[in-house]
């Protein structure tokens, strides 16, 4: 088995890719595709294209600096399936309000939020899978998570034959929308919702492989969003439920200002829905590999059972309840993690140093942030905490040589 994992240097944003290969085939996935530095983003999307078809595209959340490259990615290549956290109507309005507040909003992004399925259908996507998020209103951790993500019982290391495929560990909790027998001709991608605990397991013709993609999504409680929704109802007299509401907001400057005022009620927690992803093995105990940063090898031919990669999007892991839920969910995989991508570009308000002690075998902590950005990312205190915990800090920015790439084989 061979795998290449890359944090691409796109600047203030996120773009991670992985490719699992055998003698017979390969499996290619991408996590997030966006940046405030468009030239760096274009360069790295061109790099992604050289690997061919993308099987799965995971989107952690819908801030523009994590998704504004997907139109280019889809226009110049093909993607079979999109995976993103499930968003209700209020979640979509929050995403729009954030980009309006930061000045990053575009008409294309509003069209995307208004009709996610139609937007992807026009770009040739075959399937959309929504991951149902953990909610702060949910019950105890034991009730919510069980044993965390589904893990295959067996997994072989040898990939000398057979086409690599991905299979969800559970059936969707609702039938795909295009399975309606009265629907004459599907007009868009098949759409399904996957319950918490569902993982994407790699298989070939002979059975399961020792590789797993395990998403985990979080959203705040409905109570936390109540102030935002109440403000919308008051200021827009209930019109926020109309299909053309967002387009109307974009057209009229006064409406944009009122919309931003409503958003002020929750601005301190604006990245409300975000999805993490574990990519790595489950059972394997021996790997050979090398990891390179700034074109220099960090280590070579190391034997380890920790080669996993844990991306966190913009999760608020500084909040005790959310951090506890995150660690509980990934509990059986934390000792498999070698690369940990710090949440929200290394921001201090998304980080808590106790996270690092839960990753005993992690050697690399990444901050994906642009050079000279105006946000103070990555935070100096976060950098010091990483180093103090004996881990290497890697700032992957928009410079081409800042990429972190790890290659492993068994």
Query: Would the pLDDT of 3 be above 80?
Result: yes
Confidence (pLDDT) at 284: 61
Identify the three-state secondary structure at position 394.
strand
Q: Which class for 396: exposed (0-12), middle (13-18), buried (19 or more C-beta within 10 A)? A: buried
Confidence (pLDDT) at 269: 55
Q: For the segment 47-62, what is each residue's pLDDT rounded down to a tens digit?
A: 999 999 999 999 999 8
Confidence (pLDDT) at 146: 65
* Mean pLDDT in residue range 358-367: 95
Q: Which helix (H) or strand (E) segment is 365 a member of?
A: strand 364-368
Query: Would the pLDDT of 99 be above 70?
Result: yes
Confidence (pLDDT) at 145: 58
Residue 296: half-sphere exposure toward Cβ, Cα within 13 Å: 4
Confidence (pLDDT) at 410: 78
Confidence (pLDDT) at 339: 96
pTM of the predicted model, to two decimals?
Answer: 0.92
Q: For the segment 166-194, what is each residue's pLDDT rounded down to a tens digit?
A: 999 999 987 554 444 444 444 568 999 99
CA distance 293 to 279: 19
Q: In the beta sheet, which residues pair with residue 365?
A: 340, 393
What is the pLDDT confidence band of residue 244, given thresholds at 50, 70 and 90?
confident
Query: Would the pLDDT of 365 be above 70?
Result: yes
Instruction: State the pairing for strand pair 404-409/288-293.
Output: antiparallel
CA distance 66 to 369: 12
What is the pLDDT confidence band of residue 155, given thresholds at 50, 70 and 90?
low
Among the residue ranges 301-305, 383-387, 389-393, the one predicted with the least confidence is 301-305
């Amino acid at each position: 088995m061979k795998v290449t994992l890359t944090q691409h240097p796109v600047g203030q944003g996120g773009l991670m890719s992985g490719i699992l290969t055998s003698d017979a085939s390969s499996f290619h996935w991408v996590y997030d595709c966006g940046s405030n530095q468009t030239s760096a983003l274009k360069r790295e999307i061109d790099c992604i294209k050289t690997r061919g078809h993308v099987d799965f595209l995971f989107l952690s959340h819908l801030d523009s600096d994590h998704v504004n490259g997907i139109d280019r990615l889809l226009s110049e290549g093909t993607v079979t399936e999109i995976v993103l956290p499930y968003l209700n109507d209020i979640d979509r309005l929050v995403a729009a309000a954030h980009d309006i507040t930061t000045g990053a909003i575009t008409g294309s992004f509003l069209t995307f939020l208004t009709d996610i399925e139609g937007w992807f259908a026009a770009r040739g996507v075959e399937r959309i899978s929504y991951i149902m998020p953990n909610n702060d209103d949910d019950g105890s951790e034991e009730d919510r998570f069980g044993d965390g993500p589904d893990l295959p019982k067996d997994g072989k290391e040898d990939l000398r034959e057979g086409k690599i495929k991905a299979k969800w560990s559970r059936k969707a909790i609702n039938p795909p929308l295009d399975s309606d027998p009265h629907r004459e001709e599907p007009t868009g991608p098949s759409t399904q919702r996957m319950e918490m605990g569902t993982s994407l397991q790699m298989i070939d013709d002979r059975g399961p492989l020792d590789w797993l993609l395990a998403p985990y999504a979080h959203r705040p409680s409905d109570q936390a969003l109540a102030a935002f929704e109440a403000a919308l109802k008051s200021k827009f007299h209930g019109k926020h439920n109309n299909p053309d509401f967002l387009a109307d907001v974009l057209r009229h400057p006064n409406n944009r200002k009122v919309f931003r005022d409503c958003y002020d009620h929750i601005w301190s927690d604006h990245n409300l829905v975000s999805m993490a992803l574990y990519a790595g093995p489950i059972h394997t105990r021996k790997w050979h590999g090398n990891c390179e940063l700034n074109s220099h090898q960090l280590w070579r031919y190391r034997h380890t059972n920790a080669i996993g990669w844990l991306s966190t999007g913009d999760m608020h892991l500084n909040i005790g309840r959310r951090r506890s839920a995150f660690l509980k969910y990934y509990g059986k995989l934390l000792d498999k993690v070698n690369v940990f991508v710090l949440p929200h570009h290394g921001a201090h308000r998304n980080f808590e140093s106790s996270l690092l002690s839960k990753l005993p075998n992690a050697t690399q902590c990444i901050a994906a942030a642009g050079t000279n950005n105006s946000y103070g990312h990555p935070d100096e205190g976060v950098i010091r905490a990483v180093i103090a915990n004996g881990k290497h800090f890697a700032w992957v920015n928009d410079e081409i040589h800042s990429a972190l790439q790890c290659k492993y084989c068994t």
